[in-house]
Structure 1
Amino acid sequence: MVPEVSKHQVLDASDFALLWENCTSPYDYGENESDLCCASTPCPQDFSLNFDRAFLPVLYSLLFLLGLLGNGAVAAVLLSQRTALSSTDTFLLHLAVADVLLVLTLPLWAVDAAVQWVFGSGLCKVAGALFNINFYAGALLLACISFDRYLSIVHATQLYRRGPPTRVALTCVVVWGLCLLFALPDFIFLSAQHNERLNVTHCQYNFPQVGRRTLHVLKLVAGFLLPLLVMAYCYARILAVLLVSRGQRRLRAMRLVVMVVVVFALCWTPYHLVVLVDTLMDLGALARNCGRESRVDVAKSVTSGMGYMHCCLNPLLYAFVGVKFRERMWTLLMRLGCSNQGRPSSSRRDSSWSETTEASYSGL
């Protein structure tokens, strides 16, 4: 998913053909004859463009800093303990890497929103593909973590812990391979294109309307619905087990697994609902007019920003709430020459990155 600063596409032959077809479509373009698609120019985008110029650079810069610091800390701590990583730790490491690579592209999109794309078509393809690869990887790795915990808690099956050590690595390779496959359209169709009407250059897709709809469906299904369904099912079953079990530790685990699904859904549901509305407008199922187009464009910018915030929340959900992370962080800081004063202590012999992971390996 290329950030929504790229939503303003250059009008090519296929776009004019679509405009001509829409002359007889049921879209509602207004009561006056001058509002009809075949009698007017495309809708002005001054408001949405000005909103993007003011809103997106600030948001992307903030998310870049927070995401880089948080996920960078997670990756550094995990890599310092790489000889003793559990399956969940390995998934968390790949998740942190995916989030770091995603936020590294945000400064480029901030420049694109504030001014225009000045980096050429080659970097446009790479940045767009890198962004989408890690967008899909984040969602699929969360699903892998939830499935691993589901097997451990509900079925008492240590799929990765008792299997060959290469099994978790193979799972990660499959996840990254799928994400690379999903990002192929970015390598093929993304390019830096000059919009003569707006007199700006943007990194955007160059394919017919049907291709845009197909990508929307792919992102909705593979990047949101399927991972969300996997997480919801797995954590619902986990909660059923944890509710039967007594103890403060298991209650903490219950709170955390609820947060995992809720935060993922809250961050990404608004964006996908707005994209669904935009797709229905393209298909003619919803009436289209310039005011509605402008509101949808602004809504996509705002809700996509909410989705990217998930990259900054992942370290909080999966690491910073865990005692083990804080201990590992202090150990790493001591190695770098920081003082031992104030180091937290814990009586747990087998604490882990999160209470959920701890519960998953405690014989429930």
Structure 2
Amino acid sequence: AYLSPGVSEHQVLDASYLASLLENSTSSYDYEENESDLNSLPCPQDFSLNFDRAFLPALYSLLFLLGLLGNGAVAAVLLSQRAALSSTDTFLLHLAVADALLVLTLPLWAVDAAIQWIFGSSLCKVAGALFNINFYAGALLLACISFDRYLSIVHATQLYRRGLRAHVALTCIAVWGLCLLFALPDFIFLSASYDQRLNATHCQYNFPQVGRTALRVLQLVAGFLLPLLVMTYCYARILAVLLVSRGQRRFRAMRLVVVVVVAFAVCWTPYHLVVLVDILMDMGALARNCGRESHVDVAKSVTSGMGYMHCCLNPLLYAFVGVKFREQMWMLLMRLGGSDQRGLQRQASSSRRDSSWSETTEASYLGL
């Protein structure tokens, strides 16, 4: 798969090639006449397969629990304040939904890695598409948040002010629509197929080399480079404005801004560097050999896990560091526990006057 967790495409390609080679071979194999075929035999993948079986199920199970709890808490708090949501709050709500939906697919890929795909081709297509839709949505929504804050802090412009919620809705619809378009290959080319060499059924892609390379480039550009460039530019301009301000809030803002960009870069850069190496190998720019293929497969499993961890970090970076969020989370828990409603209403009214916990003015942007 070019992104979805599961069996390495090296393993899939090698298995299909070996099966066809064995079908065309005879019992009396002439080494000299078939030396070129022997040199082109697929590489053994026992090490990377055993690593995936031991590493991926445990990692995906942990990320599933943490991501679902963290993003569920963010969504619950934001929905409880939906009457006073700002533009950034709305983007954060969509981001929490995207991250939660992404981690919901991880148990399926954990089973695929540990045993085989037992859920059929239809769920294979849906799970792969859902995974990639929310992967792209997470990156693009982070870019939308950074642009919204850039306008609010650098230009003192609220393009998505509360009175024009249609702008936010249209932006979110455009993001989800674009992500759905990016995921069309999953609906078309993903299927549950039996692999003779692995002696198991896996959810995997069936398309030519050119299509696989094109999808990887799309993933690299649309899902990483462009959002990272937007975030870097916007937050660099925000930092330039905050550096000329005074007081403790300046340092808190700088800390949060740096953490936001660094977290996205640290979580996803290693994976996309490995993907870039794989693209260069497919294009022939780097020599392909058994050792390198095995290292790339293991590195892809490890670095993709780092990337999925970002879904668990988002609630911490955008919510739990904020005092207002913690206050509203406490109010929500008290409300569910049946505490004094009048006191809660007074606190909620005060919180709304102070502004939302993720409001994009300089003071509330800090959330501290």
TM-score (norm 1): 0.88
**What residue is the counterpart of 1:9 in the other structure?**
12
- Equivalents in 2 of 1:335, 1:287: separation in Å? 62
| Residue aligning to 2:357 | 353
Per-residue deviation, 1:11: 5.9
AA aligned to 2:12 is Q
Residue type of the alignment partner of 1:138: G
- Distance (Å, rounded) in 2 between the aligned partners of 1:360 and 1:169: 22
Q: Take 1:5 and 1:304, find their aligned partners in 2: how far apart are those partners?
A: 13
Measured in 2, the distance between the counterparts of 1:33 and 1:303 equals 42
Q: Kindly provide the amino acid, as one letter, of the partner of residue 143 in structure 1.
A: A
Give the residue type in structure 2 aligned to 1:178: L
> AA paired with 2:357?
W
**Matched residue, 2:94:** 94
Which whole-Å CA distance do the structure 1 matches of 2:325 and 2:303 have between them? Answer: 31
Q: Where do 1:238-317 residues align within 5 Å?
A: 238-317=238-317
What is the SS of the residue equivalent to 2:125? helix
Residues 1:33 and 1:137: Cα distance change in structure 2 (over 3 Å): farther
- SS of the aligned residue for 1:165 comes to helix
**Equivalent-residue separation in structure 1 for 2:365 and 2:329 (angstroms):** 22
Pair 85,198 (structure 1): closer, same or farther in 2 beyond 3 Å? same
Is the Cα contact below 8 Å between 2:125 and 2:191 reproduced in 1?
Answer: yes
- State whether residues 64 and 104 of structure 1, in contact with CA within 8 Å, keep that contact through their aligned partners in structure 2: yes
SS of alignment partner, residue 193 of structure 2: strand
SS in structure 2 of the partner of residue 53 of structure 1? helix
Residue in structure 1 matched with residue 25 of structure 2 by the alignment: none
Q: CA offsets per residue over residues 319-345 of structure 1, 9 Å max, x none?
A: 0001110111011001111768xx9x9
Alpha-carbon distance between aligned partners in 2 of 1:283 and 1:37, rounded to the nearest angstrom: 21
Structure 1 residues 324 and 43: alpha-carbon distance in aligned structure 2, compared to 1, 3 A threshold: same
- Residues 1-364 of structure 1 aligned to structure 2 (within 5 Å): 1-7=3-9, 8-10=11-13, 39-161=39-161, 164-337=164-337, 350=354, 352-354=356-358, 358-359=362-363
User: 1:61 is aligned with what amino acid?
Assistant: S
Deviation at 1:250, TM superposition (A): 2.6
How many angstroms apart in 2 are the aligned matches of 1:327 and 1:176? Answer: 31
Distance 1:110 1:168 in 2: 35
- 1:183 deviates by 0.2
Distance change in 2, residues 1:155/1:190 (3 Å)? same
User: Aligned partners of 2:206 and 2:325: how far apart in 1?
Assistant: 45
* Secondary structure class of the residue paired with 1:245: coil
CA contact (8 A) 1:189 1:205 kept: yes
Query: In 2, Cα distance between the equivalents of 1:116 and 1:306?
Result: 23
Asked if 2 retains the 8 angstrom alpha-carbon contact of 1:53 and 1:114, the reply is yes
Residue 247 of structure 1, CA deviation: 1.4
Helix, strand or coil for the counterpart of 2:191? Answer: strand
Residues 40-77 of structure 1 show CA distances to partners (whole Å, capped at 9, x for unaligned) of 42111100000000000000000000000000000001
State the one-letter code of the partner of 2:220.
Answer: L
Distance 2:242 2:362 in 1: 12
CA contact (8 A) 2:153 2:361 kept: no
Q: TM-score, normalised by structure 2?
A: 0.88
| Alpha-carbon distance in 2 for matches of 1:45, 1:224 | 29
RMSD over aligned Cα atoms: 2.6
Measured in 1, the distance between the counterparts of 2:251 and 2:7 equals 42
Equivalent pair of 1:194/1:202 in contact (CA under 8 Å): yes
Give secondary structure in 2 for the equivalent of 1:164: helix
Structure 2 CA distance for aligned equivalents of residues 237 and 99 of structure 1: 27
Contact 1:324 1:351 in 2 (8 A): no
Secondary structure in 2 matching 1:194: strand
Structure 2 CA distance, aligned partners of 1:89 and 1:133? 21
The change in CA–CA distance for 1:209 and 1:133 in structure 2 (over 3 A counts) is: same
Structure-1 separation of matches of 2:337 and 2:243: 44
Q: 1:108 to 1:48 in 2, by over 3 A?
A: same
Distance 1:361 1:252 in 2: 10
Preserved CA contact (<8 Å) 1:249 1:355: no
Alignment gaps of 5+ in structure 2: 22-31
What is the letter of the counterpart of residue 51 of structure 2? Answer: F
Residue deviations 1:130-166 (CA, integer Å, cap 9, x gap)? 0000000000000000000000011111101165221
Determine if contact 1:88/1:357 at 8 Å carries over to the other structure: no
1:252–1:355 Cα contact (<8 Å) kept: no
CA deviation map 1:283-318 (0-9, x unaligned): 111111101100000000000000000000000000
**Amino acid corresponding to residue 140 of structure 2 in structure 1:** L
Q: Which moved more, 1:2-11 or 1:48-57?
A: 2-11
Q: Is the 8 A contact 1:4 1:304 kept in 2?
A: no
Q: Which moved more, 1:280-289 or 1:331-340?
A: 331-340
3-state DSSP class of the match of 1:192?
A: strand
Is the Cα–Cα contact under 8 Å of residues 56 and 113 in structure 2 kept in the other structure?
yes
AA of the residue aligned to 1:145: I
CA offsets per residue over residues 207-245 of structure 1, 9 Å max, x none?
011111011100000000000000000000000000001
Name the count of aligned residue pairs. Answer: 345
- The farther-off stretch of 260-269 and 160-169 is 160-169
Deviations 1:234-288 (A, max 9, x none): 0000000000011112321111011111000000000000011011111111111
